[in-house]
Structure 1
Amino acid sequence: MAKKKGRQLLIKLSDGQATPQFETLCALTTKTLTINNEEIDVTTSDCDAPEGPLWTEVLDGVKRVSVSGNGISKKENAEARLATVAMSSPPVIAAQVIVPNFGTFEGSFFIQSGDFGGDQTGGVTFSLSAGSTGAVTFTPEAAS
């Protein structure tokens, strides 16, 4: 499988329409997708040998997918959409995250923060932090 450049990892936001179109937050220079799985500890001692060692046993708990990114503002529609949704109640948007050589994650995400800033001698920066709200689907990339 061919190696891919980090800039090919894409975070796309829905335009909010009934048949959504997804627009890339193209100005992001760093992007991260994190999959978190909570475990529920259900360890119990062996009734036949209670003095023996305990081995951890776990059940599947809560799942969460988080996305984040930082970049230099390019005054794109997707940036304006991010700011609009972040100020809405609830601040939820449909999004896709495309991980090259892996697949596409898609679901609704709660905008935890949208930061805008700038140094006097630099460009306007922005960052995004969002967590899934509800199920996230994963579609593996087709083998080439």
Structure 2
Amino acid sequence: MSAQKGKDLLLKINSGAGYVTVAGLRSRRIAFNAELVDITHAESVDRWRELLAGAGVRRAALSGRGLFKDASSDALLRQAFFDGAVLNSQLVVPDFGTIEGPFQIASLEFAGEHNGEVTFELSLESAGALTFTAA
């Protein structure tokens, strides 16, 4: 995979009528995490830690930061947060693929400076199994 433009990393949320790109994002990020299950015991070779494969809980976190650009995607985020809704979301990674599945907005923050624009930050947490489709 060659170098890619950060602006081509897209966060999309399903509005019920199809996927809507979250507009105005200046940065986007996804992190995958897995809990480790330690099964080390008194007879572990040379006291090296042993882990149980495939036993821990996996999760993904999406986050983004930007400014308001599109009333419909802004309203979709706001309503999903206040409803506590779990919506299908996609993260499109150029020349890599698409990660898709249910996510819930865990935080939605607004900020503004006296002489600047109003910005927002959001974070979403996975709420079920995710799929990956290669590009």
| Deviation >3 Å, runs of 4+ | none
Structure 2: how far apart are the matches of 1:28 and 1:100? 16
Matches within 5 A, 1:1-144: 1-17=1-17, 21-46=18-43, 53-59=46-52, 60=54, 61-88=56-83, 90-141=84-135
TM-score (normalizing by structure 2): 0.91
Unaligned stretches of 5+ residues in structure 1: none
Structure 2: how far apart are the matches of 1:87 and 1:98? 25
Offset at residue 2 of structure 1 (A): 3.4
Structure 2: how far apart are the matches of 1:75 and 1:140? 29
Structure number with greater Rg is 1
Q: Deviations over 1:5-53 (max 9, x none)?
A: 0111100011124xxx11111200010000001110011232xxx8x62
SS in 1 for 2:35: strand
- % identity of equivalent residues: 38
Number of residue pairs matched by the alignment: 133
Structure 2: how far apart are the matches of 1:116 and 1:16? 25
Report the aligned-residue RMSD.
Answer: 1.5
- Judge conservation of contact 2:88–2:100 (CA < 8 Å) in 1: yes
Structure 1: how far apart are the matches of 2:42 and 2:76? 53
One-letter identity of the residue aligned with 1:121: N
Structure 2: how far apart are the matches of 1:115 and 1:101? 31
